[in-house]
Amino acid sequence: MVARRFQTVTVMEASAVLISTLIGVGVLALPRFAAEAGNTGGPLVTLLGLVIALVGLALVTMVGMRFPRESIVQYGERVIGRWPARVGTALLILYFAALTSLTAREFGMVVVTSVLERTPVAITTIVMLVMAAVSSRSNMSTFAYAHLFYLPFILIPGFGIVLLAMKNATWLNVQPWLGNNPHPMSMATGALTIAALCQGSFVMTFVVPAMREPRRALRSSVWAMVVASALYLLTVLTTIAVFGAEATKLLLWPTLELAKTTMLPGQVLERLDALFLIVWVTAVFTSLYSTYALTARALQELSGLRDHKLLCVFLLPYVFVIAMLPRDILQMYRAIEWLGRIGLVLTVGYPLLLLIVAVCRKQRGELDAEA
Partner 1 sequence: MPRRDRLRAGWRVKLRVLGALLLSLPLVTGCWDRLEIEMRATVLGLAIDLADSAAGGETNTSQGGSGPSRGASDPDTDDTRLDATASSGIQGPIRQHALRLTAQIAVPGRIPLGPGGGGGGSSGSSDPSQAVWVLHAEGLTLDEALQNLQQQVADRLFYGHLRIIVVSEALAREYGLQKTTDFLLRNPQVRRTVWLVVARANAAQLMETAPPLERVPALYLMATMDHAVQMGKFPNEFFGIFASKAVMKGREPVLPYVEVMQRDNVRISGLALFHGERMVATTARTFDITSYMQLQGVGPGGYSIMVPVPGQHGTVMWQAFRRKSKIQVRLQDGVPHFTVRIRLEGNIREKSQSGIQLNDPRVLAAIEQQVEREGREGLQEFIQRTQQLKIDPVGFGEYVRARQPRYWDAHVHTRDEWETLYQRATFDIQMQVKTDRIGMENV
**Is residue 244 near partner 1 by the rule CB under 8 A?**
yes
State residue 325 phi and psi, 5-degree precision.
Answer: -65, -50
Packing angle, helices 72-80 and 329-360, rounded to 10: 50
C-alpha 47/C-alpha 191 separation (Å) is 8
Give the integer Cα–Cα distance in Å for 106 and 100: 10
Q: Which of 87, 163, 246, 331 binds partner 1 (CB under 8 A)?
A: 246
Site map 191..230 versus partner 1, x via CB under 8 A: ----------------------------------------
Nearer to partner 1, 215 or 271 (CB): 271
Asked if 317 interacts with partner 1 (CB under 8 A), we say: no
Question: Torsions phi, psi of 264, nearest 5?
Answer: -80, 125
Q: Does 186 bind partner 1 (CB under 8 A)?
A: no
Only one of the segments 16-24, 53-61, 94-102, 243-251 lies at the binding site for partner 1 (rule: CB under 8 A); that segment is 243-251
Residues 251 to 280: which contact partner 1 by CB under 8 A?
Answer: 257, 260-261, 263, 270-271
Q: Which is nearer to partner 1, 132 or 155 (CB)?
A: 132
Q: Which residues contact 266 (CB under 8 A, 6 or more apart)?
A: none
Map the footprint of partner 1 across residues 43-62, applying CB under 8 A.
none
Q: Which stretch binds partner 1 (CB under 8 A): 21-29, 131-139, 176-184, 333-341?
A: 176-184
DSSP 362: T
Told to check if 40 binds partner 1 by CB under 8 A, we report yes
| Nearest approach, Cβ of residue 28 and partner 1 (Å) | 13
How far is it, in rounded angstroms, from Cα 146 to Cα 140? 10
Tell me: does residue 330 bind partner 1 (CB under 8 A): no
Distances (CA, A) of 331 to 248, 278, 327, 349: 20, 26, 6, 27
Residues 85-124 that bind partner 1 (CB under 8 A): 113-120, 123
In the shown chain, the binding pattern of residues 123 to 142 toward partner 1, with x for contact by CB under 8 A and - for none, equals: x-------------------
Nearer Cβ to partner 1, position 244 or 349?
Answer: 244
DSSP string, 182-242: --HHHHHHHHHHHHHTTGGGGGHHHHGGGBS-GGGHHHHHHHHHHHHHHHHHHHHHHHHHH
Amino acid at 362: K
Q: Which of 90, 156, 250, 325 binds partner 1 (CB under 8 A)?
A: 250
Distance CA 191, CA 341 (A): 10
Q: How far is the CB of 239 from partner 1 (least distance, A)?
A: 11
- Smallest distance from the beta carbon of 271 to partner 1, in angstroms? 6
Should residue 166 be labelled a site residue for partner 1 when binding is judged by CB under 8 A? Answer: no
Give residues with Cβ within 8 angstroms of 21, minimum separation 6.
147, 200, 201, 203, 286, 287, 290, 291
Instruction: Tell me which residue of 68, 1, 84, 3 sits closest to 354, measured CA to CA.
Output: 84
Q: Residue 356 contacts by C-beta under 8 Å, 6 or more apart in sequence?
A: none
Shortest spacing between CB 205 and partner 1, in angstroms: 34
The region of 43-51, 246-254, 286-294, 297-305 touching partner 1 under the rule CB under 8 A is 246-254
Residue 191 has, within 13 A of its CA and on its CB side, a CA count of: 17
Residues that bind partner 1 (CB under 8 A): 40, 113-120, 123, 172-173, 175-176, 178, 180-181, 242-244, 246-247, 250, 257, 260-261, 263, 270-271
